[in-house]
Every structure is written in C-alpha cells, then in structure tokens.
Amino acid sequence: MRFTNLTRGAGIGANCYRLDLPEGTVLLDCGMHPEHVGRDSTPMLEELEQTVVRSTILTHAHQDHVGCLPLLQSQQREMPVLMTEGTARISDIMLHNSVNVMIRQQEELKLPDYPLFGHRGIELSSRMWRTCPLDRPLDLDGNRTASDGTSVTFHDAGHILGSTGVMIRSEGKSFFYTGDVNFEDQTIQTGARFPEGPVDVLLMETTRGDAPMPEGATRLTEEERFAKAVAAALEKGSSVTIPVFALGKTQEIMALLWKMQRERVIPPIPIYIGGLGSKITAVYDTMAYRLSRNLPKLQLMNDVAPYVAGGAEISSLNPRKRAIYSLSSGMMTEHTLSNVFARKVLPDPEQHLFFVGYADPSSPGGRVRNANPGDMVELGPPGGPIPFHCHREIFNLSAHARREDLLSYAVKVRPKTVLLVHGDDPAIEWFKRELYASLPDTMVIAPPPGQPIEF
C-alpha cells in the first residue's frame, strides 16, 4: 500500500486521500474547503492527471468530504463512487446547493473558472454512484466479493446520516479510515459501530484533539445545560439564535428541541430553520425506519413543524420576536442565513446566541466565539464590523468523537501505523503525544500534502 494526502494545505477542508493498491488507485473522499474559493478550495487533483483512479470511496456527505466529487468525476468518467444510500441522497442535495453558491461567488468575486461544475454535471456524475450496505465486504466496484480478494467494508460512523468508516483489506494488509466519527449516541444518531480487531494502518480524524471536555462533562450534561439555557432565555422573553450546519446539526437540534417541548422544559415556541436544512431533514424523515437511530418514529418536519426561512425572508425576520432561530451555517460563513441574521443579533444585549458545534477559528463564527464583550467583529461583506453585545454561550454537542474516545479506539486496534488527518496543528500534536505514550511501538505520522508514504 502507498498513501498520499491530497488535502491541499492539510488541516480541515478539502479532504481527499489517495491509496495505491495492487488492484489500482483508490481515493477516499473528495471535498471542498468551505472557507476558500477557486483552486484553494479543491484537493490536489492535479496530482491525478496521469492516473486512472479505480474507484472513489465516499464516507459521508459533508461539503468538506464530497464538495469536489463532480469535478473529480469529470476527469475520471468511468470511475465508480462507493457510498451508502443515505450519503448518496444527501450528497445530491448538497452538491446542487454548492452549484448555486458557486454561481453567486462567480458573480460577486468575478471568478473566471466558476462554477467548477454545474447541475447537469452532478446528474451525469451520479450515474456512477454505487450505493453500498454496511458490514458487508465488497470489491472495488461495489459488488460482493470473495474473502480472498481486495475488499471494502463500510461501518456505521455515528457522525451523521449515512456516515461510515471504511475497512480496506488487500494482500494480507488492513487499512481502516475512520472518516468523521462519533462513538457517543446523539439525539437521533446512534454511536459508531467500528471493527475492534487489529489493523495495520489507521487513518484517523483529529478534529477535537485540541478541545478537551470540561471535568465531569458528558453529552447528557451538555444537553441538560443547553436545555436550561434555552429555557432561561425564553423565560426572559428573549429569542435564541443557534448557528448550525444544515446537515446533521440542524436535525439533531430539532430533535433535542422537540424533546425539550415534550418534557415541558420549554413552552411551544416558533422554530425557524433554513431551506437547505429542510430538504435534508426530509431525507432524515424518509429514511427514519430504515436506519439504526434513536427516535425512529420522530418525523421532524411534521412533529417539530418548523418555519422554513429563505434567503429573501431572513432579512425581514425580527430577532426580538420570541422564537428559536436554528440557522445555517454553523460557522456563520458569509452570505449564509446565520451570518445575515447575526448582524441583528450581535449588537443587541437582549439577544442570546448559542454555539453547539465546531467553528474554524478563522471563520466568522470562530471570531464571534472568541470575541470579548464590546469588540467589533468582522462578519465579512456586506458592511463593516459589528459590535458584539449579545449574550453568548458555547455548548459541546459536537458530532465528532471526543479525543479520549478516539485515543481509546486507536489503543484497542493497536495499528502498526497511525495517520493523523482532519485536524488543526494543536489537535494533531495532542494525538501525537498521547499515541506515542500509549502505543510506543506504533509509527505516528501527520502526512504532509503530496508526499507518498509506503507501508
């Protein structure tokens, strides 16, 4: 096996990894960096110009893992793409939304090569998508395979609907890629069910390596703290704004708010979500009975009955109307609903802004999370900095595994080599230190972009 990190600049962004096997080259994910544009937003696909890729394996449908898939497929037209059914259905929604975003960016930023692909390109690309079951060995084309050949097996990663880790076995060697993983149950999503036998190579995300849980904190205690804070804000007559990712976090927060209303922690209250979030929520509802999940009977669009706010409507909404505004994006990226709405929320000391997941420190959401009262915060165009006076709280309801859980999993499978990806430098450094101490015979590598590693 030979591994090459094709994530431009490494870190969290346009995630894409090359694995050369005796039966051909396989790619793991092909994402787009949500904070960059143009070439900087793509993986290092130029490294594949002279390569025929046998297949691509997609772990889940978040933009940083799927966003450049049609661009890759336009260069590798006969290449099958393996994924779960849930990932396929959501990827179609996410990619068409991405085209709309790129068209707007092309108009505003005058980018000559945008959009990188169009709606028709997605339709053509999806013909090569192969939906795969969990826990069943497949060949590199997505067909059932004999046990003695190269095999690909998907395992539930517990991150979002359809998310998986992937085991690849070839010529007596095993390679396991966690993808984005969560070992704990969330409100809807059940925790990961990963293989626990020894592996030769472990490719592992490190997102929360620099984010320790407070002493005594658990998912349950964070949910309870969140519930009390929402209830207190509403009791004062205030509204609550929650920046969320359209995929995953929107659905989890809707389910959590439904439980809070059902248990009379909060009164019936209008709940607003975005249009993209509503489309993805419909997939969650459609597939509710077909997946291993909590609350399988819960139909979010019917039982929660949220108001769906579009881009034109968001500017007319009044945050002083007592309601819960669960708006994407989670990082408050420029031109998203949460970014537009935050311009009304930040200056108002009566408003409550609750963060529930990860935000890149350089993103508008990251800047708001780190701001001090009275600071001027840059949210990006249009307009200048916004004064920060609202009440802000941060809750750890991440869909990514705690660093301690990832470390425990690595110790359990005792890999000969660990490859650390999908994390900022401090996160990766924490894992390096802990893995060296816990697995002294294991080689620990943070693979630099574009440099092949042989096993």
CATH number for the domain including 351? 3.40.50.10890
Q: What is the pLDDT of residue 361?
A: 85
What one-character-per-residue DSSP string does 274-323 give? EHHHHHHHHHHHHTGGGS-BSSTT--HHHHT--EEE-HHHHTT--TTSS-
Residue 405: inside a domain: no
Residue 399: inside a domain: no
pLDDT in tens, the chain (455 residues): 999 999 998 778 899 999 999 999 999 999 999 888 888 999 999 999 999 999 999 999 999 999 999 999 999 999 999 999 999 999 999 999 999 999 999 988 888 889 999 999 999 999 999 999 999 999 999 998 766 689 999 999 999 999 999 999 999 999 999 999 999 999 999 999 999 999 999 999 999 999 888 888 888 999 999 999 999 999 999 999 999 999 999 999 999 999 999 999 999 999 999 999 999 999 999 999 988 899 999 999 999 999 999 877 888 888 888 999 999 999 999 889 999 999 999 999 999 999 998 888 889 999 999 999 999 999 998 888 999 999 999 999 999 999 999 999 999 999 999 999 999 999 999 999 999 999 999 999 999 999 999 99
Stretch (H or E) spanning 155: strand 151-156
Q: What is the pLDDT of residue 213?
A: 81
Q: What is the pLDDT of residue 417?
A: 98
Terminal Cα distance for the chain, rounded: 5
Q: Strand 17-21's sheet: what is its strand order?
A: 129-131, 81-83, 53-57, 24-28, 17-21, 2-5, 453-454
Range of the domain at 360: 219-394
Q: What is the pLDDT of residue 12?
A: 83
Q: Could you tell me if 103 and 135 lie in one domain?
A: yes
Q: What is the pLDDT of residue 147?
A: 62
> Pick from 394, 424, 439: which residue ends a domain?
394
Torsion of CA 163, 169, 170, 174, to 10 degrees: 110
The amino acid at residue 13 is G
Q: Could you tell me if 283 and 149 lie in one domain?
A: no
Please state, in angstroms and rounded to a whole number, the distance separating the CA atoms of residues 272 and 254. 10
Residue 401: inside a domain: no
Residue 402: inside a domain: no
Q: Residue 142, SS3?
A: coil
Residue 420: inside a domain: yes
Q: Could you tell me if 237 and 297 lie in one domain?
A: yes
Q: Could you tell me if 94 and 117 lie in one domain?
A: yes
Count of structural domains within the chain:
2
Residue 351: inside a domain: yes
Residue 408: inside a domain: no
Residue 404: inside a domain: no
Q: Could you tell me if 80 and 113 lie in one domain?
A: yes
Q: Could you tell me if 371 and 427 lie in one domain?
A: no
| Beta strand ranges found along 310-402 (DSSP E) | 324-327, 352-355, 376-377, 386-387, 391-394
Among all chains, which residue has been given the structure tokens 């002493």? 215
Q: Could you tell me if 204 and 289 lie in one domain?
A: no
pTM, rounded to two decimals: 0.95
Q: What's the CATH number where 69 sits?
A: 3.60.15.10
Q: Could you tell me if 202 and 59 lie in one domain?
A: yes
Q: Could you tell me if 305 and 431 lie in one domain?
A: no
Q: Could you tell me if 249 and 297 lie in one domain?
A: yes
Q: Could you tell me if 180 and 228 lie in one domain?
A: no
Q: Could you tell me if 192 and 258 lie in one domain?
A: no
